Amino acid sequence: MEQAIGVIDSGVGGLTVAHELMRQLPKERLIYLGDTARCPYGPRSKNEVQKFTWEMVRFLLKKNIKMLVIACNTATAFTLKELQDNLDIPVIGVIQPGARAALKFTKNNHIGVIGTEGTIRSKAYTTALKNINSTIHVNALACPLFVPLIEQGGATGEQALKVVEDTLSPMKKNNHIDTLILGCTHYPLMKDTIQSSIGKHVTIISSSEETARETSAILDIHNLLNSEGEIPKHQFFTTGELTIFRKISKSIFKNSNLHTVSIEKAAIN
């Protein structure tokens, strides 16, 4: 199946999902659309997020994608069910794969979740976890400074560690968690800093890695895996500034796969 996998995000965070898809599924072609011009989605109303998400989906459906990955936590929380019910192709979000991985890793049933204010307020992870196991203890914490810090290129170093230490301190008090879900697709970019703050005894779950892995499973059960050997040419689109999008792409991909990617501007509304 040489058709591409479609990936949508409110901006650049979903590029960590794209990066993992390219690493775990090197024969698959991606078409990525980041709505950078209207990012962030977090503070927007449900109606607005649904409207914007459908605009992105329509853009990708015209490109004949075989599967859709919603690489944005807010869009997943507000549109996953609706898109699954209305599209003829498989649709996956970023919340459930992270929740399922955490349920696999935890030994003491105490799971931490960090994300943007919108994601934490939506209780989407708590719902996903407790829907499967109602005895799970969830410790959820909003980390509003992480995304701006990452977007400014400050994911590592002493300043980052200080921000992370301060933000995570309520979670570390009386902390029983043995598993922590990075409930925002930006956070894998500061995973090392988060790990050194929360401690080595905590298993960190990257929703980006887990979403890529479940995309592989879903393509397989739908007989949609690409069996061709050729390395595909990916297309990344942004609704915003090309220069910034290119710069952040470079920092995420560290140039490893970027020669196989074309980056273009898209008008979707």
Task: Name the strands in the sheet holding 203-206, side by side, starting at the edge strand that comes first in the sequence.
Answer: 137-142, 110-115, 179-182, 203-206
Q: How far is the CB of 76 from a copy of itself (least distance, A)?
A: 13
Which 132-171 residues touch a copy of itself, going by CB under 8 A? 132-135
Q: How far is the CB of 122 from a copy of itself (least distance, A)?
A: 18
Closer Cβ to a copy of itself, 51 or 222, answer by number: 222
C-alpha dist (Å) from residue 220 to 25, 110, 169, 213: 11, 32, 41, 11
Known catalytic membership, residue 184 = yes
Tokens 């901006």 correspond to: 11
264 has which bridge partners?
237
Residue from 75, 89, 113, 212 binding a copy of itself (CB under 8 A): 212
Question: Among the candidate windows 94-102, 174-182, 197-205, 232-240, which touches a copy of itself by CB under 8 A?
Answer: 94-102
Closer Cβ to a copy of itself, 217 or 242, answer by number: 217
Among residues 191, 225, 226, the alpha carbon closest in space to that of 207 is found at: 191
10 is in an annotated binding site: yes
Q: Does 92 bind a copy of itself (CB under 8 A)?
A: yes
Among residues 19, 12, 21, the alpha carbon closest in space to that of 66 is found at: 21
The helix-helix angle for 15-24 and 207-221 (nearest 10°) equals 50
Per the document, the length of the chain is 269
Q: How far is the CB of 174 from a copy of itself (least distance, A)?
A: 25
Catalytic site residues?
A: 72, 184
Binding site for a copy of itself (CB under 8 A): 20, 24-27, 84, 90, 92, 96-97, 100-101, 103-104, 131-135, 209-210, 212-214, 216-218, 220-221, 225, 227, 229
